[in-house]
Amino acid sequence: MAYDYKKLSRQNKDNSPGVTTRAWMAPKRTFTSIAKPVDPPVNPGDKIRISDDHEFDVADGFIQIYATQDTASISSEITGEMDSRGLSKTAEFFYPGLGAEALEFADEAKNDEWIILFENLDGTILQIGSEMLPAEITHALATGTLSSDKKGITFTVNNFGKLYVYEGVVTEKPIV
């Protein structure tokens, strides 16, 4: 079915770039239900808008992770050949420090499938990963030097699905 294009007017609101210093991540295996966009779409934007809540068992939820200010970003590029186009998304953020918990988290995260949420400065939550195309996380470690650089972990998120706007409740994993 052909897409019914609608007018895109100028947004008469703040459009500051960047994301906040927090992200939420959850392994795909911890969800009891992964919400999807409304089908069939009714309003413009419905194909990428998720308004229902993601659901977890009572002991699970999103894990909030800190990102050093001005280090987190999301970008995308078109992949493939003519008549076979896709979209590749990459997000990066820096976590300061190389403590045992952070190193273990990074080492384990590379082996899982993820749904990841980033918060724009205007409060909009962007989702990378879905039930059919979860995101993957890789990382790079750096100690820095005595006189400069950063000491910590740069996490990289890769995904070939759509970038969604998540409007549901962000259920966080209970702290035990």
Measured CA to CA, the distance from residue 130 to residue 96 in angstroms comes to 28
83 part of a folded domain: yes
Using an 8 Å Cβ cutoff, are 165 and 50 in contact? yes
Residue 176 has pLDDT above 90, yes or no: no
Domain that holds residue 142: 19-30+65-165
Find where tokens 């994301």 sit. 19
173 part of a folded domain: no
pTM of the full structure? 0.91
Measured CA to CA, the distance from residue 60 to residue 175 in angstroms comes to 10
Measured CA to CA, the distance from residue 69 to residue 96 in angstroms comes to 11
Phi, psi for 28 (deg, rounded to 5): -55, -35
114 part of a folded domain: yes
95 part of a folded domain: yes
Using an 8 Å Cβ cutoff, are 26 and 128 in contact? no
| Res 15: pLDDT | 77
Span 39-85, pLDDT tens digits: 898 888 999 999 999 999 999 999 999 999 999 999 999 999 999 99
176 part of a folded domain: no
35 part of a folded domain: no
Residue 8 has pLDDT above 80, yes or no: no
Span 88-118, pLDDT tens digits: 999 999 999 999 999 999 999 999 999 999 9
111 part of a folded domain: yes
Q: Specify the pairing of strand 49-50 against strand 136-142.
A: unpaired
Specify the number of domains making up the chain.
1
What residues have CB less than 8 Å from 51, skipping those under 6 apart? 35, 38, 167, 168
6 part of a folded domain: no
